[in-house]
Structure formats: structure tokens, C-alpha cells
């Protein structure tokens, strides 16, 4: 079982980095659509998506932002972090089957409020930038090292 360990505000150093790598699946797209209610055919309808500039279905843009929040919450600084905001730019579409690497770098620390800023760049398997942005968060002050909770097993079927 995976262990999650944070870096407290005092342990953080400008330039600290972390990575999250994830291959985007059909199930990711379907689950995100269910969760968000975003049933735009660009994400769910293969025939429609073929007629668009992308030529195939793409992941929801906010799926990228979700990967950033996951990386901040589990990697840098990790558990106990309170997310405050996100500036973001979607630069290329993400397709089913793309392997996305989110690279985080701590760029700013402010003692007042334990505020931090983290730069994020996401690339696909072709090393093309698909997303960039800056996260603002409150870093944890207490050390946490804990076993990660297992994710639930889900299954579903599309309504026809």
C-alpha cells in the first residue's frame, strides 16, 4: 500500500519539485463526465468528435486541473495542504491513451498564512505542453505520514 508523506511549510524550499504521471483512459473520461455532468459530445461521442478540429474525443479541460490538484494534495506539499486557487492555460488537447506528466515546482513561500505558489507544466508522451499554470495553497504545518486510502472500485454502464 502506498504511503503519503507531506512536506511542512518549514521543510519546503523554493525549487522543490514533484511529478505525477497518469495515462488517460476511457473510464477517466466517462467518470469525469458523470461527476461533472459535462456531456459535451466532444468528450463522449466518437462520431461527433471525428467532425471537429481534433478528429477524435478529447478529455475535459478541467480534467487537467484535477490532475494538478491531485499532485499538490499527494506529492507537493502533500497531505494537509489546503488548495486556494489555480491560474491555468490549456495549451493542447489531451486524448484517451495519452500519458500525461505533471511537473510541479515550488516558486514562492510567504510565511504569513503559510501561503505557497507552485508552478505546474503538463506534457504528453510526445513532450508537448498540454497545460500550464500556477497553484496557490496553504502548506501544512504538521508532519503527516499515512497509508493512502484505497480508491473505490467503480463500474458503470452508459445509458442508451
C-alpha–C-alpha distance, residues 86 and 45, integer Å:
29
pLDDT band at 127; cut points 50, 70, 90:
very high
Determine the angle formed by the axes of helices 26-36 and 61-74, rounding to 10 degrees: 100
User: Which alpha helices (DSSP H) does the chain contain, by range?
Assistant: 26-36, 41-44, 46-50, 61-74
What radius of gyration do the chain's Cα atoms show?
17
Which pLDDT score is estimated for 159?
Answer: 65
Pairing type for strands 82-90 and 129-138 reads antiparallel
Q: What is the per-residue pLDDT across 64-104, written as a single tens digit (0 to 9) for each?
A: 999 999 999 999 999 999 999 999 999 999 999 999 999 99
pTM of the model: 0.89
- Domains, the chain, ordered by start: 3-147 (3.10.129.10)
pLDDT band at 38; cut points 50, 70, 90:
very high
C-alpha–C-alpha distance, residues 45 and 120, integer Å:
30
- CA 20, distance to chain mean position in Å, is 8
C-alpha–C-alpha distance, residues 12 and 108, integer Å:
10
Which residue, among 59, 83, 79, 80, has the nearest Cα to 69 in the 3D structure?
83
Amino acid at each position: 500500500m502506498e504511503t503519503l508523506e507531506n512536506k511542512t511549510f518549514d521543510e519546503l524550499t523554493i525549487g522543490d519539485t514533484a511529478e505525477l504521471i497518469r495515462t488517460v483512459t476511457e473510464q477517466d473520461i466517462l467518470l469525469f463526465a458523470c461527476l461533472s455532468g459535462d456531456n459535451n459530445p466532444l468528450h463522449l461521442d466518437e462520431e461527433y468528435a471525428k467532425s471537429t478540429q481534433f478528429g477524435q474525443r478529447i478529455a475535459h479541460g478541467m480534467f487537467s486541473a484535477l490532475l494538478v490538484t491531485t499532485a499538490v494534495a499527494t506529492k507537493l506539499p502533500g497531505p494537509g495542504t489546503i488548495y486556494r486557487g489555480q491560474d491555468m492555460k490549456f495549451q493542447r488537447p489531451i486524448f484517451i491513451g495519452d500519458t500525461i506528466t505533471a511537473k510541479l515546482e515550488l516558486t514562492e513561500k510567504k510565511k504569513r498564512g503559510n501561503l505557497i505558489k507552485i508552478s505546474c507544466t503538463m506534457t504528453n508522451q510526445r513532450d508537448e505542453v498540454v497545460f500550464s499554470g500556477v497553484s496557490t495553497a496553504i502548506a501544512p504545518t504538521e508532519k503527516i505520514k499515512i497509508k493512502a486510502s484505497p480508491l473505490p472500485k467503480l463500474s458503470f454502464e452508459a445509458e442508451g
